[in-house]
A and B are shown apart, each in its own frame.
Chain A
Amino acid sequence: NAGVTQTPKFQVLKTGQSMTLQCAQDMNHEYMSWYRQDPGMGLRLIHYSVGAGITDQGEVPNGYNVSRSTTEDFPLRLLSAAPSQTSVYFCASSTRDRGKMNEQFFGPGTRLTVL
């Protein structure tokens, strides 16, 4: 299993540009989440999904859109990039099985810089 994969690893955008961060998992996990991590701030939840076709907002959803058309993929779209969105973005997935649903598996992250 490849686990959770994220592309790209690095990205530089100009203010106002849009782009999509890709996330895919091959573990057939129902739950998927997007977090951002700023220096000294820990991880903040952007959006999450409990299954295909279902998404919900996290702590900091403004400026981001998500969709979940398949179990495997959970892309994060930046609508109009701003310097405040410079961060490291992590995607995570976990199973719905009650005993293991807290065991989120994280991808390697995408380091985004907005100029």
Chain B
Amino acid sequence: GESVGLHLPTLSVQEGDNSIINCAYSNSASDYFIWYKQESGKGPQFIIDIRSNMDKRQGQRVTVLLNKTVKHLSLQIAATQPGDSAVYFCAERVGSASKIIFGSGTRLSIRP
């Protein structure tokens, strides 16, 4: 399997419960904030993004919250399922450039 994430923080959640994954960012000039999911042995997969002038955005079973005052981003997953087991990364699209910079990751583990 993938050796990524040996030192990543782990969040353990009971199947069916809601998961909240947090991320702190430092660049106030970022245009968008993005969440990706990475399953073992695979490349990251886009989940949802939020523009910097918004504070909440909902998708299918996921909600992203943005608190610019404290530079904090969170991803909420409703009714967590075994297929949600993965490493979750936050990322930022830096304003004038078109580059996407990844932040810290969190491993989500589901208890049956």
A4 and B42 alpha carbons, distance in the complex (Å): 12
**Chain A residues close to B by CB (< 8 Å):** 4, 31, 33, 35, 37-40, 42-45, 48, 50, 56, 58-59, 88, 90, 92, 101-109
**Given contacts A50-B98, A56-B97, A88-B4, are A42 and B103 in contact (CB under 8 A)?**
yes
Q: Is B79 in the interface zone, CB < 8 Å from A?
A: no
How distant is A54 from chain B, measured CB to nearest CB, in Å?
A: 10
- 0/1 string, B1-40, CB within 8 A of A gives 1: 0111111100000000000000000000000101010000
CB of B43 within 8 A of CB of A92, answer yes
Q: How many residues on B have C-beta within 8 angstroms of the other chain's C-beta atoms?
A: 27
- Give Cα distance in the complex from A56 to B96, angstroms: 13
B54 within 8 A of A: no
Q: Can you report 29 A-B residue pairs in the complex whose CB atoms are below 8 A from each other?
A: A4-B43, A33-B99, A33-B100, A39-B3, A39-B4, A39-B6, A40-B4, A40-B6, A40-B7, A42-B89, A42-B103, A43-B44, A45-B99, A45-B100, A45-B101, A48-B98, A48-B99, A58-B101, A88-B2, A88-B4, A101-B98, A102-B32, A102-B34, A102-B93, A102-B100, A104-B46, A106-B42, A108-B42, A109-B42
A89 CB to nearest B CB, Å:
10
B102 near A44 with CB under 8 A, answer: yes
Smallest Cβ distance from B38 to chain A, in angstroms?
9
Q: Do A43 and B99 touch across chains, with their CB atoms under 8 A apart?
A: no
The interface residues of chain B lying within 8 Å CB-to-CB of A37 are 4
| B58 is an interface residue with CB less than 8 A from chain A | no
Determine whether the beta carbon of A59 is less than 8 Å from that of B46. Answer: no
Chain A residues with Cβ below 8 Å from B43 are 4, 90, 92, 106-109
Question: Which chain B positions have C-beta within 8 A of A50?
Answer: 98
Cβ–Cβ contact A40 & B8, under 8 A: yes
CA distance A38 to B6 in the complex (A): 10
Closest A residue to B7 by CB, please name it: A40
Instruction: Report the bound CA distance from A71 to B32 in whole Å.
Output: 24
Known: A42-B104, A45-B99, A48-B98. 7 other contacts (CB 8 A): A39-B6, A40-B8, A42-B105, A56-B99, A88-B4, A104-B36, A104-B44
